[in-house]
Amino acid sequence: MSGGVDSSVVAGLLRRRGQPVVGLTMQLWNQRRLPELVPEGGATGRCCSLDDVYDARFVAQHLGIPYYVLNFEDRFEQQVVRPFIDEYLAGRTPIPCTLCNNFIKFDQFLDLAAGVGASRIATGHYARVGFDESSGRYQLRRGVDQAKDQTYFLFGLTQQQLAHTDFPLGGFTKPQVRELARELGLPVADKPDSQEICFVPNGDYAAFIDAYFRERGIAADRAQGEIVDTAGRVLGEHQGVHHFTVGQRRGLRVAAGEPLYVIATEQHAQRVIVGSNDQLLRPRLHAGQVNWISIAPIQQPVRAQVKIRNKHEAAPATLDPAADPPRVEIVFDQPQRAVTPGQAAVFYDGDLVLGGGWIE
């Protein structure tokens, strides 16, 4: 329970069904830890803030269910925050929400819930899970509300994890969920949605990384480097590759005749390579550490639609089992803009989530 509308409605629905329910909140990050990042007037509306825990507890009290806050701060820092930073410094653009789902929420948190006697966990994700008799597999489907669908972040779930997980909101739209919240009398019915990465204030991940290093007394070594075009000509300077992501246009501060975009970042050379919009197009990509959900690992080419970032519209493509599974080669029917290493490629067949992997 995050203190938001979605997980609160989940708790309310389960309580209404008369099932024994225990409310749990994960304390993941201490919002007061990097005070330089907290805007004037204090942190609000981000996960793990005292206000959010207050709201979650208020909902639990309202529903009359037992409620606990679990301290996952150490584990979150180890398994989400540090890899997040390492990825950025390595010139990739990570998705901490997926790491959190894979290594915290549906792993250690599920373990803990099982350990204290829960048969299943339920979360406020917009996704649907069901068991398919013919294939003998748990299948994951997009949430009915396409705008809210969160399956992009859930591609790493294993069959065992899905077997013990409920997504009660998968069949509802967000307006319906807010309506349910009002119907259930929940005190958070009109609370605004959270948007950004929960531990990064205002989405400024570069400022977060800099502040984290300052706190730990680590100077990011030789962060500065050159901004070059695809022919290797030096166009300007930058303050660290972690300030840039593929497809980015703003913040380059170099003058050129045509709009320039980040094409790639090279961590070893501390270089940011820029080019035209056309130079961002890629016909194919390799996905590593592929996890198959709704179908067994593929042995031959399979047609699918592939999403390469959360807000991307899934594009038709052919999935080709590479010579070295669990890697997969993805060949798009039409070249795609800003294929970004560190993001996920998630494979769909309509609503069905076939699986996904990390863009290399």
Catalytic residue ranges: 100, 198
Q: How far is the CB of 64 from another protein (least distance, A)?
A: 3
The encoded tokens of residue 191 equal: 């609370």
Q: Which residues pair with 129 in a beta bridge?
A: 140
CA distances from 246 to 221, 243, 309 (A): 22, 11, 12
The encoded tokens of residue 17 equal: 């069904």
Q: How far is the CB of 1 from another protein (least distance, A)?
A: 12
Query: Could you tell me if 173 and 131 are in contact, meaning their C-beta atoms sit under 8 angstroms apart?
Result: no
Pick the closer one to another protein by CB: 116 or 256. 116
Cis status, amide bond into 301, omega within 30 of 0: no
R_g (Cα) of the chain, nearest Å: 21
Pick the closer one to another protein by CB: 67 or 88. 67
Q: How far is the CB of 293 from another protein (least distance, A)?
A: 14
Binding residues for another protein, rule: CB under 8 A, are: 15, 20, 22, 25, 27, 48, 50-51, 53-55, 57-58, 61-66, 68-71, 73-74, 107, 110-112, 114-117, 158, 160-161, 163-164, 182, 184-185, 187-191
Buried b (16+ CB within 10 A) or exposed e, 204-218: ebbbbbbbbeeeeee
DSSP H or E stretch at residue 356:
strand 352-359
DSSP H or E stretch at residue 284:
strand 281-292
Pick the closer one to another protein by CB: 112 or 281. 112
Task: Kindly give the residue spans of alpha helices, DSSP state H, lying in the chain.
Answer: 5-16, 50-63, 73-76, 82-89, 96-100, 109-115, 159-163, 174-183, 205-215
Q: How far is the CB of 354 from another protein (least distance, A)?
A: 21
Pick the closer one to another protein by CB: 164 or 174. 164
Q: How far is the CB of 242 from another protein (least distance, A)?
A: 29
Pick the closer one to another protein by CB: 69 or 235. 69
